C-alpha cells in the first residue's frame, strides 16, 4: 500500500511543473500543454483521495474534469489555429492586443 | 353623535374647488359662477340650519369621522366640534364669505382667470371652515396652513405682475415664521399632555390650579402667540398684510380683512384656558395688540393708496382684538372680530367699487368728488367709516368700546393700554375720514381728466389682466360709473350689518343686554371676571365718542375746509413725516437685518461654500480619485497573457499560504 502522501507529493510536483511551464514557455501550444499537466495533477489528487476514502465521487469528478479538458482542448486548439492564421505566430508575447 | 353632519360645511366648498379647478378652464362662465356660488351658499344655509338647532344641542358637540394619526399613546382624529365660539366664526365665515363671492361675480367679471379665482376662493372657504371646526390643534393647523396657501394663491392672482408674485411669497414666508411658533407649541403640548385635543388639554389644565403661571404653559402660550402674530399680522410679523393688497379687492376683503387674519384671534380665544394660566403670555398679547393698533394707525394716516390705508387699518383693528384677548376679555375680542368682519369687508368692497368705478385707480390723491357719481357706494362706505370710527350706535363703537372698557378695568397697567387704545381710536377716526373726504368730497381731481383716454393709462398699472381683455374696456370707457347690482347688494347688506351688527353686544351700562358676551360666556368667560362701575363705562363711552368726533373734525379741517393743511404740516414736520410716510422703514430694517443676512447665508455660505466647495467639490474629488486609481490599476491589464498568469499564480500562492498559516481564517465566514 502506497501512502497517500506520495500521491500528493507527485501531484504537487506535476502541478508545479505545469505552473512553471505556463509562466516560462512562450509557445502557445506549450502553454496549452502545461495547462493539461496542471489539470491532470489535480486529477491525480482526486483519484488518490477517492482510493483512500473508498468513495466513488472523486473518480466521477475526474471524468468531469476530463470531459471539460477535452472540450477545452477542442476550443483552445481552434483558437490557436485562428491566431496562427491571423498573426502568423505562436508566440504569446506577440499576442497582446487586448489592453488599454 | 354625527347627526349635525358638520363635515358637509367644508366638503361643499372643496367640491366647488375641485369642479372649478379641474374643469373651470373649459366651462362656460355662468357654470363657473353657479358652482362657486353654490359652493359658498350651501355652507351658509347649513350654518343657518345649525343656528336654528343650536339651542337643543349639548355643547360642545363633537363629531369624529375617523382616525388620522396613531403613534404610541398619541391619537389625532378627524373630528369637528361645534360650540358657541365655532358657531360665531361659522356665521362670519360663511355669511361674509358668501356675500363676497356674490360681489366677486361682478368685480371679477372681466378678469382673465375668472374660474381660477373662484376655485381658489372656494378652496379658501374649505380650509377656513376646517380651521374653525377643528377639534384638535393638528386639524386646526391643517386649516391654518391651508388658508395660508389660499392666501398665497390669491395674492399672487395676477401672477404676471412681479409685485403681486413677490407679495404672495412675502406673505407665505412671513407666515412660515409664525407657523414655526404654532408647531413648537404643538410639540410642547404633545410632550406635556400627550394629546392635541382641545377638550382634553383644557380640562387637564383647568383641573390643575397649581399650574397657574407655570413655565411650560407660558412657553406654549407664547409660541401660540407667535403663530397668531404671523397669521393675524401683528408686530413683529405684520409686514406681509399691506403687501397682500396686490391681490384682487374681494380677496383683500374676505381673506385679508374679514376671516383669515382673524384666525389668530380665534386661536387665542379658543386656547384661552392656556392663556388664563400664563399672565405673562396674556400681557404679551395685550402689549403686542396695543402697540400694533397704535403703530399701524399712524402708518395708515399717511398712506395714499386706498387699499393700503384699509390694510393698515385692518392691522390696527386686529391689534384691538389682541388687546381685548390680552386683557382676558375674549368675548370682547371675538365680538370686535365679528363687527370688524362686517365693516372692514364693507370698506374693502366699497373701495373695490370705487376702484371699479375709476377703472382701476387706487391712488386717493387723484380721487375726489365721487359722492354724487357713485351714491350707493358712497352711502355704504359712509356707514362703514362711521362704524369703524366708533360712532354710536354703530357696530364699531360697541365692540371697540367694550375692548377699551375691559382694558380700563383690567389690572396690571390696563389704564395705559386703554389710553393708547383711546388715542388709536382717534387716529382711526382721523384716517378713515381722511379717506372718506379724499375719495368722495372736494373737486373731482385727476379722475375727471382721466374719464376717457387716460383712464386706460391709469388702469395699466393696477389691473393689468383686465387691460389685456378686449372686452375689458366695454362699460369702462364711459368714465366714472356706479357698479352693477350684483356688487351693490352685498354692499348694502354689509352696510346694514355694520349699523345694527353691534346691537347684539350692546353694553349693559347703556341699557342693553350684552347678549353676545352672555352667549360666548360658556366658552370664553373667566370664572372671576373683573367687574367695573356702570358710571365709568358710560363715561368711557362718551369719552371715546368725543375722541372719534375729534378725529373726524381734524380730518374735516385738514381735508375739507383747508385742503392744503396736510401738505403744510408735512413740510413743517419733515422728519416725522418722512418717518411715518416710509412706514418707519420697517421693511427696510427687516430687509437689512433679516433678509440680507439670510440671502448672504444662502448665496455665499450655503451656495458657494457648502454647495459649490463642499458638495460639488466632494463629488469632483471622489470622481478624480476613482479616475486616478483606475488609471493606476489599468496598467495591470497589459495584454500580455504571461503576466496575467503570473498575477494569477502569485495570488493563488498567497491564498494558499494564507490558508496554510491561518491568516485568512478570520475573514472566512464559518
Give the CATH number, domain containing residue A68: 1.10.287.3510
> What does the pLDDT read at residue B529?
65
Strand partners, B79: B64
Q: What angle do CA A41, A44, A46 make, to 5 degrees?
A: 115
Whether B665 shows a pLDDT value over 90: the answer reads no
> Cβ B638–A99 below 8 Å, yes or no?
yes
Residue closest to B293 by CA, chosen among B351, B204, B347, B232: B232
DSSP secondary structure letter of residue B366: G
Among candidates A93, A97, A100 on the partner chain, residue whose Cβ is nearest the Cβ of B642: A93
A92 close to B (CB below 8 A): yes
Strands B74-82 and B61-71, by their bridges, are antiparallel
Whether B47 shows a pLDDT value over 70: the answer reads yes
> What does the pLDDT read at residue B179?
93
pLDDT band at B528 (very low <50, low <70, confident <90, very high): low
> What does the pLDDT read at residue B321?
94
pLDDT band at B453 (very low <50, low <70, confident <90, very high): very low
Whether B428 shows a pLDDT value over 60: the answer reads yes
Whether A4 shows a pLDDT value over 60: the answer reads yes
Among candidates A23, A96, A97 on the partner chain, residue whose Cβ is nearest the Cβ of B649: A23
B621-to-B479, B604, B615, B618, B632 alpha-carbon distances in Å: 69, 21, 10, 5, 16
Q: What pLDDT digit, counting tens, does each position of B578-590 carry?
A: 888 888 888 889 9
**Residues with Cβ < 8 Å from B336, sequence gap 6 or more?**
B317, B320, B321, B324, B399, B400, B402, B403
Report chain B residues whose CB lies below 8 A from the CB of A12. Answer: none
> What does the pLDDT read at residue B456?
41
A95 close to B (CB below 8 A): yes
Rounded to an integer, what is the distance from CA B549 to the centroid of its chain? Answer: 30
Q: How far apart are CA A83 and CA B497, in angstroms?
A: 103
B656 close to A (CB below 8 A): no
> Cβ B642–A95 below 8 Å, yes or no?
no
Q: What pLDDT digit, counting tens, does each position of B316-343 carry?
A: 999 999 999 999 889 999 999 999 999 9
B197-to-B203, B292, B448, B621 alpha-carbon distances in Å: 10, 31, 59, 53
pLDDT band at B445 (very low <50, low <70, confident <90, very high): low
Which H or E element spans position B435?
helix B414-440
Is the C-alpha dihedral spanning A34, A35, A39, A45 positive or negative? positive
B646 close to A (CB below 8 A): yes
Whether B574 shows a pLDDT value over 50: the answer reads yes
Among candidates A22, A98, A99 on the partner chain, residue whose Cβ is nearest the Cβ of B645: A22
DSSP secondary structure letter of residue B77: E
Q: What pLDDT digit, counting tens, does each position of B260-302 carry?
A: 999 999 999 999 999 988 889 999 999 999 999 999 999 998 8
Task: For residue A47, tell me if it sits in a domain.
Answer: yes
Task: For residue A99, tell me if it sits in a domain.
Answer: no
Q: How far apart are CA B456 and CA B631, in angstroms?
A: 71
Q: How far apart are CA B420 and CA B626, in angstroms?
A: 71
Give me the domain span that covers residue A32.
4-94
What total of structural domains would you count in chain A?
1
A5 close to B (CB below 8 A): no
CB B23 within 8 A of CB B35: no
Compute the radius of gyration of chain B from its Cα atoms.
30
Whether B62 shows a pLDDT value over 50: the answer reads yes
Mean pLDDT, residues B213-236? 91
Mean pLDDT score across all residues of chain B: 87
Q: How far apart are CA B265 and CA B285, in angstroms?
A: 10
CB B399 within 8 A of CB B339: yes
> What does the pLDDT read at residue B403?
92
Q: How far apart are CA B97 and CA B108, in angstroms?
A: 15
Task: For residue A9, tell me if it sits in a domain.
Answer: yes
Task: For residue A64, tell me if it sits in a domain.
Answer: yes
Among candidates B640, B646, B649 on the partner chain, residue whose Cβ is nearest the Cβ of A93: B640
Q: How far apart are CA B316 and CA B296, in angstroms?
A: 5
Which is more confident, B530 or A57? A57
Report chain A residues whose CB lies below 8 A from the CB of B634. Answer: 100
Q: How far apart are CA B299 and CA B297, in angstroms?
A: 5
Look at A38-47, B418-427, B519-528, B661-670 and tell me which has the smallest mean pLDDT. Answer: B661-670
Q: How far apart are CA A34 and CA A30, in angstroms?
A: 6
Whether B167 shows a pLDDT value over 90: the answer reads yes
Whether B667 shows a pLDDT value over 70: the answer reads no
pLDDT band at B471 (very low <50, low <70, confident <90, very high): very low
> What does the pLDDT read at residue B356?
86
Q: How far apart are CA B215 and CA B278, in angstroms?
A: 8
> Cβ A23–B642 below 8 Å, yes or no?
yes
Place of cell 407655570: B214
Task: For residue A18, tell me if it sits in a domain.
Answer: yes
The C-alpha of A32 sits at a distance from chain B's nearest C-alpha, in angstroms, of 12
Task: For residue A100, tell me if it sits in a domain.
Answer: no
> What does the pLDDT read at residue B575?
82
Whether B125 shows a pLDDT value over 90: the answer reads yes
- One DSSP character per residue, B101-153 reads HHHHHHHTTT-TTHHHHHHHHHHHHHHHHHHHHBSBHHHHHHHHHHHHHHHHH
Whether B553 shows a pLDDT value over 50: the answer reads yes
Mean pLDDT, residues B53-74? 87
pLDDT band at B443 (very low <50, low <70, confident <90, very high): confident
Q: What percent of chain A has pLDDT over 90?
A: 77
CB B565 within 8 A of CB B555: no
**ipTM of this predicted structure:** 0.85
User: In this structure, what C-alpha cell is assigned to residue B418?
Assistant: 386703554
Report chain A residues whose CB lies below 8 A from the CB of B645. Answer: 22-23
> What does the pLDDT read at residue B320?
94
> What does the pLDDT read at residue A100?
65
Strand partners, B75: B70
Q: How far apart are CA A13 and CA A78, in angstroms?
A: 29
> Cβ B641–A23 below 8 Å, yes or no?
no
Place of cell 374679514: B258
B532 — alpha (psi -120 to 50), left (phi > 0) or beta? beta
- Provide the CB-side half-sphere exposure for A22 (13 A, CA): 22
Amino acid at each position: 500500500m502506497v501512502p497517500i502522501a506520495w500521491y500528493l507529493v507527485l501531484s504537487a510536483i506535476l502541478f508545479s511543473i505545469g505552473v512553471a511551464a505556463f509562466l516560462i514557455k512562450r509557445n502557445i501550444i506549450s502553454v496549452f500543454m502545461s495547462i493539461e499537466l496542471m489539470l491532470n495533477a489535480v486529477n491525480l489528487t482526486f483519484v488518490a483521495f477517492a482510493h483512500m476514502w473508498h468513495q466513488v465521487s472523486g473518480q466521477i469528478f475526474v471524468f468531469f474534469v476530463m470531459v471539460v479538458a477535452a472540450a477545452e482542448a477542442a476550443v483552445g486548439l481552434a483558437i490557436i489555429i485562428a491566431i496562427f492564421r491571423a498573426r502568423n505566430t505562436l508566440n504569446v508575447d506577440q499576442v497582446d492586443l487586448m489592453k488599454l | 353623535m354625527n347627526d349635525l353632519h358638520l363635515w358637509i360645511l367644508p366638503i361643499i366648498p372643496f367640491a366647488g374647488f375641485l369642479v372649478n379647478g379641474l374643469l373651470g378652464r373649459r366651462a362656460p362662465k355662468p357654470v363657473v359662477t353657479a358652482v362657486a356660488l353654490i359652493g359658498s351658499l350651501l355652507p351658509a344655509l347649513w350654518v343657518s340650519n345649525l343656528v336654528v338647532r343650536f339651542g337643543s344641542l349639548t355643547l360642545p358637540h363633537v363629531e369624529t369621522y375617523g382616525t388620522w394619526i396613531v403613534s404610541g399613546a398619541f391619537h389625532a382624529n378627524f373630528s369637528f366640534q361645534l360650540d358657541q365660539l365655532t358657531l360665531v366664526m361659522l356665521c362670519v365665515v360663511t355669511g361674509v364669505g358668501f356675500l363676497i363671492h356674490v360681489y366677486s361675480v361682478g368685480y371679477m367679471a372681466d378678469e382673465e382667470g375668472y374660474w381660477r379665482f373662484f376655485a381658489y376662493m372656494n378652496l379658501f372657504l374649505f380650509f377656513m371652515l376646517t380651521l374653525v371646526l377643528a377639534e384638535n390643534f393638528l386639524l386646526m393647523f391643517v386649516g391654518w396652513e391651508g388658508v395660508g396657501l389660499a392666501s398665497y394663491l390669491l395674492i399672487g392672482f395676477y401672477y404676471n405682475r412681479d409685485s403681486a408674485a413677490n407679495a404672495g411669497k412675502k406673505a407665505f414666508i412671513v407666515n412660515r415664521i409664525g407657523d414655526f411658533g404654532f408647531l413648537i407649541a404643538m410639540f410642547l403640548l404633545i410632550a406635556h399632555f400627550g394629546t392635541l385635543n382641545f377638550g382634553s388639554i383644557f380640562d387637564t389644565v383647568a383641573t390643575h390650579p397649581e399650574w397657574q403661571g407655570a413655565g411650560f404653559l407660558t412657553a406654549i402660550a407664547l409660541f401660540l402667540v407667535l403663530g397668531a402674530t404671523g397669521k393675524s399680522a401683528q408686530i413683529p410679523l405684520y409686514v406681509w398684510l399691506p403687501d397682500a393688497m396686490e391681490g384682487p379687492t374681494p380677496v383683500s376683503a374676505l381673506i385679508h380683512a374679514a376671516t383669515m387674519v382673524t384666525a389668530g384671534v380665534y386661536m387665542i380665544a379658543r386656547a384661552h384656558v392656556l392663556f388664563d394660566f400664563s399672565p405673562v403670555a396674556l400681557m404679551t398679547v395685550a402689549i403686542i395688540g396695543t402697540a400694533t393698533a397704535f403703530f399701524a394707525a399712524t402708518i395708515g394716516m399717511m398712506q395714499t393708496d386706498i387699499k393700503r390705508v384699509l390694510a393698515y387699518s385692518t392691522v390696527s383693528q386686529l391689534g384691538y382684538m389682541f388687546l381685548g384677548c390680552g386683557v382676558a376679555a375674549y368675548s370682547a375680542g371675538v365680538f370686535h372680530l365679528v363687527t370688524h368682519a362686517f365693516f372692514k369687508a364693507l370698506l374693502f368692497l366699497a373701495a373695490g367699487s370705487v376702484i371699479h368705478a375709476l377703472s382701476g385707480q387706487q391712488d386717493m390723491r387723484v380721487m375726489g368728488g365721487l359722492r354724487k357719481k357713485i351714491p350707493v357706494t358712497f352711502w355704504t362706505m359712509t356707514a362703514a367709516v362711521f362704524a369703524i370710527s366708533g360712532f354710536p350706535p354703530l357696530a364699531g363703537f360697541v365692540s371697540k368700546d367694550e375692548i377699551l372698557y375691559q382694558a380700563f378695568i383690567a389690572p396690571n397697567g390696563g389704564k395705559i393700554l386703554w389710553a393708547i387704545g383711546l388715542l388709536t381710536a382717534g387716529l382711526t377716526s382721523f384716517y378713515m375720514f381722511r379717506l372718506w373726504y379724499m375719495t368722495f368730497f372736494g373737486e373731482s381731481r385727476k379722475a375727471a381728466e382721466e374719464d376717457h383716454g387716460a383712464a386706460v393709462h391709469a388702469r395699466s398699472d393696477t389691473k393689468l389682466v383686465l387691460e389685456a381683455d378686449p372686452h375689458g374696456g366695454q362699460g369702462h370707457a364711459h368714465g366714472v360709473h356706479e357698479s352693477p347690482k350684483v356688487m351693490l347688494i352685498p354692499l348694502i347688506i354689509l352696510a346694514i350689518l355694520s349699523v345694527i351688527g353691534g346691537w347684539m353686544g350692546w353694553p349693559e351700562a347703556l341699557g342693553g343686554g350684552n347678549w353676545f358676551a352672555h352667549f360666548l360666556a360658556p366658552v370664553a368667560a373667566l370664572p372671576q371676571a373683573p367687574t367695573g362701575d356702570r358710571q365709568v363705562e358710560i363715561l368711557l363711552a362718551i369719552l371715546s365718542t368725543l375722541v372719534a368726533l375729534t378725529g373726524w373734525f381734524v380730518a374735516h379741517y385738514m381735508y375739507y375746509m383747508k385742503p392744503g393743511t396736510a401738505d403744510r404740516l408735512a413740510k413743517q414736520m419733515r422728519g416725522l413725516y418722512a418717518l411715518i410716510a416710509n412706514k418707519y422703514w420697517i421693511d427696510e430694517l427687516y430687509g437689512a437685518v433679516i433678509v440680507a443676512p439670510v440671502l448672504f447665508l444662502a448665496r455665499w455660505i450655503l451656495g458657494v461654500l457648502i454647495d459649490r466647495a463642499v458638495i460639488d467639490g466632494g463629488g469632483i474629488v471622489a470622481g478624480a480619485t476613482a479616475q486616478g486609481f483606475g488609471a493606476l490599476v489599468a496598467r495591470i491589464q497589459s495584454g500580455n497573457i504571461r503576466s496575467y498568469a503570473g498575477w494569477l499564480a502569485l495570488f493563488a500562492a498567497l491564498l494558499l499560504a494564507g490558508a496554510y498559516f491561518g491568516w485568512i481564517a478570520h475573514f472566512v465566514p464559518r
